[in-house]
Structure 1
């Protein structure tokens, strides 16, 4: 079933956080952008589309996004930011042989003393983000495993919320959108009931800190 013009336009806009932001901010040239996406809209729609129809869809979607963006999330969620530096990140193929070794890792690392450790078990991969001083331990445990990727000199920025932020729609989306707008690449995203952590490159850490400090109106 062919898409409507409106749904085609929404899908195209949603692919680019930058266009998304410009539409919300009201600084997008509807006519010029409509002309640039006309071939893609016609391909999805299945027949000829007038430029004016795309402009109208953009205006309506812009109003929708502005309305959504003005919801009172800012006043209902409070948070602080914790920064951890010198993080080492490792990704490898998930195997029982490695998972069985994780107990040794937990036994060596003390998060109560400020150490950082996050382990994510996916269906096919395992991701570890850990304080750099334990890198030798992690690489030793992974010596016989299939390592996919590793990075060093990373920073973890954790948003610690007052209350259950997972029940507040739009928080994760807004944080990721703001980081993408500033061209900050996120290496890992970790969430718990009241914490949201982004692992990023050190060179992006101060810019990311400023973005996350103000993304919900907190100064």
Structure 2
């Protein structure tokens, strides 16, 4: 049988923003108790008293504090070098049978230049392509028959190298994105590989975004290309 404190912990722990707001004292506990009461009752399969939920939330705060701080500390050890690439163009194309052919032609053209930023991510219905703007004429040439949905220029990429065990930390990417989002910085694209995490922002926002990510990591190497 699940108790009210256990149910409250289950509800709060899956809501990172809520956990932090609770920790920082930004939430009215009584109002929060009313808000999550229906969820609590679904979990415990019976009516829950408002006062019991309030008490459980108050007791949960120290535990949330420890859990968040522990996760943040562990996350900081996993943030490696930060690399900034500027002057990028972002294209979104409708998926087609010929899209890959254009991609292969671009790859062949830039194969001898490792300093070019280039990535293609294929989704269910559309594909996203980001390239160093100086070489955007290759995209215009090899993708001219494709359906262009959207194009954005004057972008910068900030890539954070990650420890190989980053996937073992719950909410890992949340902490990275939150630090940028709370500064009102718009993230136009997110690109992720196993050990690298890249965000695309407007050129005018790159300094602020870089500064926020730099604050999160322990001393290491910073690169700008």
Asked whether the two chains share a fold, i.e. TM above 0.5, the reply is: yes
CA contact (8 A) 1:90 1:127 kept: yes
- Could you tell me how far 1:218 is from its partner in structure 2? 4.5
Question: In the alignment, which residue of structure 2 is the partner of 1:140?
Answer: 141
In the alignment of these two chains, the number of paired residues is 209
The answer to whether the aligner puts 1:160 opposite 2:161 as a matched pair is yes
TM-score, with structure 1 as normaliser: 0.76
What SS class does the counterpart of residue 20 from structure 2 fall into?
helix
Say if 2:75 and 2:169, in contact at 8 Å, map to a contact too: no
Distance in 2, matches of 1:197 and 1:189, equals: 6
**What's the offset of the Cα at 1:86?**
0.9
Residue deviations 1:69-99 (CA, integer Å, cap 9, x gap): 2224156424111101111111122112111
Residue 68 of structure 1 pairs with residue 70 of structure 2:
no
Task: Extract unaligned runs of 5+ from structure 1.
Answer: none
Q: How does 1:10-89 map to 2 (within 5 A)?
A: 10=12, 14=15, 17=17, 19-34=18-33, 37=35, 41-42=37-38, 45=41, 51-59=50-58, 62-71=61-70, 72-74=73-75, 76-89=77-90
Q: Secondary structure at the match of 1:157?
A: strand
Shift of the 75–174 alpha-carbon distance from structure 1 to 2, 3 Å rule, reads: closer
Superposition TM-score, scaled by structure 2 size: 0.74
Q: Tell me the CA shift for residue 156 of structure 1.
A: 0.2
Deviation of 1:116 (Å):
0.7
1:213/1:146 CA distance change after superposition, 3 Å: same
Aligned position for 2:102: 101
Shift in alpha-carbon separation, 1:103–1:86, aligned structure 2, 3 A: same
Conservation of the 8 A alpha-carbon contact between 1:91 and 1:125: yes
Whether the aligned pair in 1 keeps the contact of 2:29 and 2:54 (CA below 8 Å) is: yes
Kindly state the Cα deviation for residue 9 of structure 1 after the two structures are TM-superposed.
5.5
Greater mean deviation of Cα atoms: 197-206 or 183-192 = 183-192
> Structure 1 residues 52, 90: closer, same or farther in 2, change over 3 A?
farther
Q: State the superposition RMSD in angstroms.
A: 3.2
How far off its partner does 1:177 sit?
A: 2.4
Residue ranges of structure 2 left out of the alignment (5+ in a row): 221-225
SS at match of 1:115: coil
Q: Aligned with 1:65: secondary structure?
A: helix
